[in-house]
Amino acid sequence: MPRRLTKRGEDRTPLTGDYDAVICGASFAGLAVARELAGASCPDGSPARVLMLDRYEVGERQTSACGIPTSWLESMGLMGAHRQTFGELVVHTPHHTVRWPLPWTFSTFDYPELCRLLFEQSDCEFETAKVNGRTGHKLHTDRGDLTAPLIVDGMGWRRLLAGGDGFQPPDAPLSRGLEVHPGGESDDLEIWIDRKYVPAGYGWSFPARDELRIGVGSFDPRFHVKDTTVALADDLGSEAVRYQGNWIPHQLRPATEDGIFFAGDSAGHCLPLSAEGIRTALYFGIACGRELRSVLAGTQTREQALRSYGAFSDSHDWKFRWLLRGQRLVPRLRPRSLRALLTSMTHRRLVGFSFDQYLRIAPPEFAGTPPAPRVRRVAPAAAAAQL
Ligand SMILES: Cc1cc2nc3c(=O)[nH]c(=O)nc-3n(C[C@H](O)[C@H](O)[C@H](O)COP(=O)(O)OP(=O)(O)OC[C@H]3O[C@@H](n4cnc5c(N)ncnc54)[C@H](O)[C@@H]3O)c2cc1C
């Protein structure tokens, strides 16, 4: 069980006030927005009041298997959270195994440490509070109401701050993913395309130095992945312990709505073919943060920022649609065609070209040089852990 660090009882004091910007959600998307707002000023030169909210402390609850192109960790100055690097992807089907030589490496990282490092690149205020909804630009939390002209929803697929369009599993375009985190070591980053584990989707084992992250993701939200996650762990001789799972969006949704900014899973910023959503949450979070920063500085209005960020997100739509086609095609392939497709990817030039195109959807250079925070501080979760 993760250790609970969130404020409870008497520590949960009332929380009210007016802020220049409130970022809801302190995971990949929200932390990337906050990074871009470090040191942000208002037109009169005063520091902008930026608040970040999450129902848990920063980094307290892991939300993924934490696999990402290594270049993203490097470009964001997050190598301190690095666990293990892989130059190959091992792909298993029921009848054969192939090794794809990747043109760039993939790494796993430690979630609490990455969140801590990212939080330290920002200088916003942070409070643990559960966001329940909003009325206009007034946010309702379990500790009170807050107002801000700039509000970001980085709280995941529920898209809590949107109008509510009945977007719910199993009818909504969502995948489901579940994994276990037993202790163990391996040199291989592995995936399984095997109907034994999931009719449409894949299983994975992501080693992270002394831990394996073994899971199953189904593109069909009606397929329950619990039994097959346990089966895969069992087949690998690992224990099914320390579960982590969630719904994963596989379709873009509007990145702005009714004056609110959405980044990460709340805007469907998760690549449909692979369910890779960390670097895209960082990428779109950075884009969103840059727009907000110029609103705070008075160089554009909120409406201009909403239009600009919305258009930026929309401009990626065709790439997401292509990946969705791929997601739908793979489960329909006959074993012989699947084998031919997977084997073709063992050719360096083809795998290099495909993975380079895939990386370009959210390239690491986009991270750029982060603005300098006004104050240097320690993330709350880390501070609590030191007690
Ligand atoms: C099992 C599994 C494994 C995955 N593995 C990978 C992987 O290896 N690589 C990859 O790229 N992607 C992976 N993904 C996808 C990836 O986890 C998501 O796309 C990514 O986490 C999205 O980031 P985010 O910041 O938008 O949302 P999240 O990471 O989901 O963060 C949302 C934040 O909002 C907070 N929050 C939610 N509701 C409230 C509320 N009401 N009030 C206050 N705070 C709230 C949460 O506590 C959380 O901190 C995986 C997904 C699953 C389910």
The greatest distance separating any two alpha carbons of the chain, rounded to the nearest whole angstrom, comes to: 67
Residue nearest to atom 2 of ligand 1 (CA): 64
Q: Rounded to two decimals, what is the model's pTM?
A: 0.95
Q: Residue 387 has what pLDDT?
A: 39
Give the closest residue to 91 by CA, choosing from 187, 190, 186. 190
CB of residue 62 inside a 6 A radius of ligand 1: no
Cβ(358) to ligand 1 under 6 A? Answer: no
Q: Would you state the pLDDT for residue 345? A: 85
pLDDT, one tens digit per residue, over 33-46 is: 999 999 999 999 99
Which tens digit of pLDDT belongs to each residue from 246-282? 999 989 999 999 999 999 999 999 999 999 999 999 9
pLDDT at position 333, please? Answer: 87
Q: Is 178 in the pocket of ligand 1 (CB under 6 A)?
A: yes
DSSP string of 131-150? EEEEETTEEEETTEEEE-SE
3-state secondary structure of 299: coil
| Whole-number Cα distances in Å, 298 to 20, 45, 153, 226, 258 | 12, 11, 22, 50, 21
- Architecture label for domain 9-368+376-386: 3-Layer(bba) Sandwich (3.50)
Torsion of CA 169, 29, 189, 330, to 10 degrees: 40
Q: Could you give the CA distance from residue 279 to residue 202 in angstroms, rounded to a whole number?
A: 20
Rounded to whole angstroms, the Cα distance separating 132 from 144 reads 10
pLDDT of 376: 65
Q: Are 179 and 229 in contact (CB under 8 A)?
A: yes
Centre of ligand 1 to C-alpha 300, Å, is 30
> Looking at residue 374, what is its pLDDT?
87
User: With a cut of 50, which residues of the chain have pLDDT below it?
Assistant: 1-3, 382-384, 386-387
Q: How far apart are CA 167 and CA 205, in angstroms?
A: 30
Report the separation in Å between the CA atom of 265 and the middle of ligand 1, taken as the mean of its atom positions.
Answer: 7
Please list, in sequence order, all residues whose beta carbon lies within 8 angstroms of the beta carbon of residue 61, skipping any fewer than 6 positions away: 2
DSSP assignment letter at 288 = H
| Measured distance CA(288)–CA(34) in Å, rounded | 10
State the CB neighbour count (10 A cutoff) for residue 170.
11
Are 150 and 36 in contact, with CB atoms under 8 Å apart?
no
